[in-house]
Amino acid sequence: MRLVITGSYEQMSIEAANIVAGQIYLKPNSVLGLATGSTPVSMYQRLIAVHKSLGLDFSQVTTFNLDEYIGMSPDNPQSYHYFMQENFFRHINISPENVFLPNGLAEDMVAEGERYEKLIEARGGIDLQVLGIGQNAHIGFNEPDVKFAATTHQVELDSETIQANSRFFASEDEVPRYAISMGIKTIMMAEHVILLANGRNKAEAVYKALCGDVTPEAPASILQLHRDVAVIIDKEAAAMLPDTIRGVNVTRKS
């Protein structure tokens, strides 16, 4: 595992965008796993800027998003379909037929999970997965649990997640209670993973992910077992980390 501690959210976003851009330059038909939330917004802005100024070409890129709320149509401004269109896809030259998110309106979520897994497999698997982290150390919508969920599946959101995500809604009551999310196995099968976190409110989750026991109670801790993870965070999110962490190669950038 590599850990890059940056001086700011902007620096974190630049580092992350450089890795994603590098992946696309090296393999133009890359399959990316993408995340929503506040954390990657500036990374997407940087990638859009690199597309516009340097011609970073997304025409052969395929993307699979981690998750979607259940019951939300793609044109609902609260949906993750909408978020991705607004924050990323409509600004780059990606082909709509290469963009995938789980269908939150599917009638049968078990069948939808299987369909999504098959699509990922048919595209050759995920080359680079981008992750945020919840305050409860969730990745995707894999909430703390007694076991690691394997593949794309329906989840019931944690009260902490509902509260955290209520900032995007008029009230907490409006936050969906269920979502469909890639599972831990789906994420762990990705060739490369980058985990992003910024802000003091993520410090405990980052500590659990990097220094805690590997346990489904802290889903991100499973990344300690992945063969190629770069954790890119700002100094606030690093506030609880010790100077040295076993098995982790630490770089500090201001």
Dig out the tokens for 34 from the structure: 């993408």
User: Is residue 29 part of the contact set for ligand PGA (CB under 6 A)?
Assistant: no
C-alpha distance across the termini of the chain, in Å: 20
**Residue 156 designated active-site:** no
Cβ–Cβ < 8 Å for 1, 195:
no
Q: Give 100's strand partners.
A: 64
Q: Of 33, 37, 102, 219, which lies in the binding site for ligand PGA, with binding defined by CB under 6 A?
A: 37
Of the residues 51, 138, 153, 192, only one is catalytic, namely 138
Residue 98 vs 157, nearer CB to ligand PGA:
157
Contact segment (CB under 6 A) with ligand PGA among 32-40, 71-79, 185-193, 206-214 equals 32-40
Cα–Cα distances (Å) from 56 to 32, 39, 49, in that order, read: 14, 22, 9
Q: 114: which residues sit within 8 A by CB, 6+ positions away?
A: 151, 152
Report 138-197 residues binding ligand PGA (CB under 6 A): 138
Q: Of 132, 186, 192, 208, which lies in the binding site for ligand PGA, with binding defined by CB under 6 A?
A: 132
Q: Of 104, 113, 134, 183, which lies in the binding site for ligand PGA, with binding defined by CB under 6 A?
A: 134
Q: How far apart are CA 198 and CA 194, in angstroms?
A: 13
Number of residues binding to ligand PGA, judged by CB under 6 A? 7
What phi and psi values does residue 169 have, to the nearest 5 degrees?
-120, 165
**Residue 143 designated active-site:** yes
Mapping DSSP to helix (H, G, I), strand (E, B) and coil, where does residue 3 land? strand
Of the residues 15, 112, 127, 143, only one is catalytic, namely 143
Active site residue ranges: 67, 136, 138, 143
Query: Which residues contact ligand PGA (rule: CB under 6 A)?
Result: 37-39, 132-134, 138
